Amino acid sequence: MASSVVRATVRAVSKRRIQATRAALTLTPSAVQKIKELLKDKPEHVGVKVGVRTRGCNGLSYTLEYTKSKGDSDEEVVQDGVRVFIEKKAQLTLLGTEMDYVEDKLSSEFVFNNPNIKGTCGCGESFNI
């Protein structure tokens, strides 16, 4: 019986510039702090899950929910002790996004600074890619 051999070739690439990959999602310190605060009273939950749903006047909207475990196709982002899981459907739309938590006199909310968005609705709750 013949055994198969896998071969690999390494080549030095001097003229091509290697680009750094973008993180799927980064969290600001205020977002990390708020997620820690929210999970403090929920010991059975391990993190939050971010997803997108079809709704709103412009197409897509973000969803956030507590999660007890990582889904089979979820991507996990761990930052400063906080675990955020990204649903498979949302992974490409969130690539390179910064998740922030903002408080002002009238509201407090998570804000997604997404470089992939092509347009948003007037109220800012839905977007399109």
> Is 109 or 46 the better-scoring residue by pLDDT?
46
All residues at 6 or more sequence positions from 5 whose CB lies less than 8 Å from its CB, including other chains: none
Rounded to 5°, the CA angle 106-111-117 comes to 130
Indicate whether 16 belongs to any domain: no
Q: Where are the alpha helices (DSSP H) in the chain?
A: 29-40
- Identify the CATH number of the domain in which residue 41 sits: 2.60.300.12
CB atoms within 10 A of CB 22: 11
Residue 113 CA: distances (Å) to CA of 70, 98, 110: 24, 5, 10
Say if residue 21's pLDDT is above 90.
no
Predicted pLDDT at 11:
47
What pLDDT digit, counting tens, does each position of 23-72 carry? 688 888 999 999 999 889 888 999 999 888 877 666 777 788 898 888 88
Q: Kindly report, residue by residue over 33-46, the tens digit of the pLDDT.
A: 999 998 898 889 99
The mean pLDDT of the chain is 76
What is the tally of structural domains in the chain? Answer: 1
Residue 60 maps to a domain: yes
Proportion of the chain above pLDDT 70, given as a percent: 68
Question: Is residue 81 situated within a structural domain?
Answer: yes
Phi, psi dihedrals of residue 48, rounded to the nearest 5°: -120, 150
Tokens of residue 58, six digits: 């412009």
* Higher pLDDT pick, 99 / 5: 99
